[in-house]
Structure 1
Amino acid sequence: MSMQQDTIYIVIATDNHYAILLAALLKSVEQNHTSGERIEFYIIDNGITSENIAKLKTILNPEAYGLHFCNMKSVLPKDMVLPVDGSALPFVAYMRMFAPYIIPPEAEKVLYLDVDMIVVTDISKLWHTDIGDYMVGCVQDHSQVVSCEWAGIRNYAQLGLSPDTKYFNSGLLHIKTKAWREANIPEQIIRCSEENKEYLSLADQYPLNVVFANKWFELDPRWNCKAILDIKDPYIMHFIDIKPIYKSYNGSKYYQDTFYKYLDMTPWANYSPVSNYIRLWRKVYYKLVKASSKMINKKRG
């Protein structure tokens, strides 16, 4: 198959709060994609308003890009209950594990991108990266190893892992879809989360690192550069902490300016950073949703 005929599949998960981030991410992929493949975006959507969906649909040239919205409830298997961790990360963060299930079944691979990313090179370079016999390719996290005190896998020793086992950031995944589905990775992730409930951290980044310990392909670190670290020459900028839409943003100014460069090419042009109170309110909201879900799960149990 020639490069021109290949189709790149990208999955992103978000709720309405971060529709604005999705806008800038979509535009950044389009602006830097020069190698001619069609790109199909599949958005796992947890409540994006119809007004925002309409705006998002105006961003890409439909002749070269597809934009599909998949309601989170329809993606989540009926009998599956998402784990509840103590973080303020939204439930939709867990949905990356379903990326191989919502794209056409004949697609051999898929890229999962966190919504708080900006792509500044041609995404086809990542798409055409050979990850060998591995099921998943990722970038090592800046916490580096499972024994890191502020991230990592706190019970790594009980799980039989060496303290220097490399630990990856789950914001970017290059997945071989058939192998992922055959291994039923979502079931493995949920089971791992249940068995290690008290150690869960950073949503599904913990179980993903347990399930794939020593079994992931290490991608070029430039594919997942944290804004707080201000890494030079990034391929993908990742706003893991305070997003660039808030006045309290504390990452690289260059990364923030790049975000607004792409945002200004969308219906959200001329947006100004908003108060930190809005950010804190969202965190409280996500925690309340998780707390109520915990109660419902207990009643079911």
Structure 2
Amino acid sequence: MNKKDNINIVVASNNHYAILLGALIKSIEVNHKTPEKISLYILDDGISKENQEKIRGSASKDMVEMYWHKTNSIIPANVKIPVDKSAFPITTYLRLFATEVMPADTERYIYLDVDMIVQEDISKLWYADLDGKLIGAVLDLSETAGSEWGGIPNYKELGIAPESKYFNAGMMVVDVIQWKAGDIGNKVIQCLHDNLESVNFADQYGLNVTLVNQWHALDPKWNSFAILDIEDPYLIHYLDIKPIFRSYNSIPRYQEDFYKYLRLTPWKNHKPIPDYVRLSRKVVNKVRKIVSAYLK
């Protein structure tokens, strides 16, 4: 089979969340039934050699081909990452520049946050009709730009209608040709710098501003949030406290689903870890963004 026929998947991870990537990869492999191979592009924000080997050991080489790209090869030298107020890691911004490291003839890819597991055949998402739009995604919990607690806080100043649909950027099916033509990565970064006081969910804010009315809504089951009790979700997204922590507080059976896949990886003996580790990582994320911006 020609590599052009492969399913292209992009993920981004730092070393802390490498374990999540292991479970995600295994879940994709277990549920993939059609003949396409998977080309997995890993945007590597400091994953240790030990964890790289564990990730490689989390999927069959016959099904999954992995391509590793370090942070400094992904974000163009002239791009300055904004210092937003969130505790989201720099890693989240890597998805904006995935096309920088993918083959020139790539036409489509699926982007997945690593805090997910896939419970349906990924080929069904791969072949989803985008209705000619730039990306396919799923409505976020906040649903609209004018949401009182999420959405786009300064939608009025930007001239965006409050009822404009707002997507969650954790799962995106991307039309690469349109993405490149629109220079979307750079536009999102500029949007963030221009509206820094209103940035609430890192680059998701910028993506929704930049792509307002340019995205196609996919079946919500393709990005089902773990805090909601949904019957037979295709993809579970652990938006809140991740299932690797003792303080996990979403639907209990979704944590069980996570460990079902994790036990099939080199992390099979992992036990949920104390919450102080999670909280300390948030502090590190904020400091790292400040240092990175200073060095740029």
TM-score of the two chains, using structure 1 as the length reference: 0.95
How much has 1:254 moved relative to structure 2? 1.1
Please name the residue that 1:24 is paired with.
Answer: 23
Please name the residue that 1:151 is paired with.
Answer: 150
Equivalences for residues 174-193 of structure 1 within 5 A:
174-193=173-192
Please name the residue that 1:207 is paired with.
Answer: 206
Q: 1:4 to 1:80 in 2, by over 3 A?
A: closer
Please name the residue that 2:193 is paired with.
Answer: 194
Q: Percent identity?
A: 45
How much has 1:292 moved relative to structure 2? 2.7
1:10-32 deviation per Cα after TM superposition (whole angstroms, max 9, x unaligned): 00001000000000000000000
Q: 1:232 to 1:17 in 2, by over 3 A?
A: same
Do the aligned residues in 1 keep the contact of 2:145 with 2:152 (CA within 8 Å)?
yes
Please name the residue that 2:250 is paired with.
Answer: 251
TM-score of the two chains, using structure 2 as the length reference: 0.97
Q: 1:5 to 1:188 in 2, by over 3 A?
A: closer
Please name the residue that 2:261 is paired with.
Answer: 262
1:287 aligned to 2:275?
no
How much has 1:294 moved relative to structure 2? 4.3
Instruction: Calculate the aligned-residue CA RMSD, in Å.
Output: 1.5
1:33-52 deviation per Cα after TM superposition (whole angstroms, max 9, x unaligned): 00110101000001000111
Do the aligned residues in 1 keep the contact of 2:7 with 2:126 (CA within 8 Å)?
yes
1:123-149 deviation per Cα after TM superposition (whole angstroms, max 9, x unaligned): 000000110210111100011111112
Distance 2:268 2:230 in 1: 26
Please name the residue that 1:239 is paired with.
Answer: 238
Please name the residue that 1:46 is paired with.
Answer: 45
The number of equivalent residue pairs is 296
Please name the residue that 1:12 is paired with.
Answer: 11
Please name the residue that 1:125 is paired with.
Answer: 124
SS at match of 2:227: helix
Please name the residue that 1:67 is paired with.
Answer: 66
1:165-202 deviation per Cα after TM superposition (whole angstroms, max 9, x unaligned): 11100000100111111111111111111111111111
Identify the range of structure 1 (49-58 vs 18-27) with the bigger mean alpha-carbon deviation: 49-58
Identify the range of structure 1 (56-65 vs 256-265) with the bigger mean alpha-carbon deviation: 56-65
One-letter amino acid of the structure 2 residue matched with residue 242 of structure 1: I
1:249-297 deviation per Cα after TM superposition (whole angstroms, max 9, x unaligned): 0001111000000000000002110000000011111111123334445
Do the aligned residues in 2 keep the contact of 1:9 with 1:103 (CA within 8 Å)?
no
Structure 1 residue runs of 5 or longer lacking an equivalent are: none
Distance 1:3 1:251 in 2: 41
How much has 1:60 moved relative to structure 2? 1.6
One-letter amino acid of the structure 2 residue matched with residue 90 of structure 1: P
SS at match of 2:266: coil
One-letter amino acid of the structure 2 residue matched with residue 18 of structure 1: Y
SS at match of 2:156: coil
Please name the residue that 1:276 is paired with.
Answer: 275
One-letter amino acid of the structure 2 residue matched with residue 198 of structure 1: E
Distance 1:252 1:289 in 2: 32
How much has 1:230 moved relative to structure 2? 2.4
Distance 1:213 1:93 in 2: 20
Distance 2:269 2:163 in 1: 46
Distance 1:233 1:66 in 2: 28
Distance 1:77 1:5 in 2: 26
Distance 2:96 2:291 in 1: 23
Distance 1:37 1:276 in 2: 40
Do the aligned residues in 2 keep the contact of 1:243 with 1:249 (CA within 8 Å)?
yes
Structure 2 residue runs of 5 or longer lacking an equivalent are: none
Distance 1:275 1:235 in 2: 29
Q: 1:97 to 1:38 in 2, by over 3 A?
A: same
Please name the residue that 1:139 is paired with.
Answer: 138
SS at match of 2:157: coil
How much has 1:6 moved relative to structure 2? 2.1
Please name the residue that 2:216 is paired with.
Answer: 217
One-letter amino acid of the structure 1 residue matched with residue 10 of structure 2: V
Do the aligned residues in 1 keep the contact of 2:4 with 2:106 (CA within 8 Å)?
no
Do the aligned residues in 1 keep the contact of 2:31 with 2:119 (CA within 8 Å)?
yes
One-letter amino acid of the structure 2 residue matched with residue 146 of structure 1: A
Distance 1:115 1:141 in 2: 17
Do the aligned residues in 2 keep the contact of 1:40 with 1:66 (CA within 8 Å)?
yes
How much has 1:62 moved relative to structure 2? 1.2
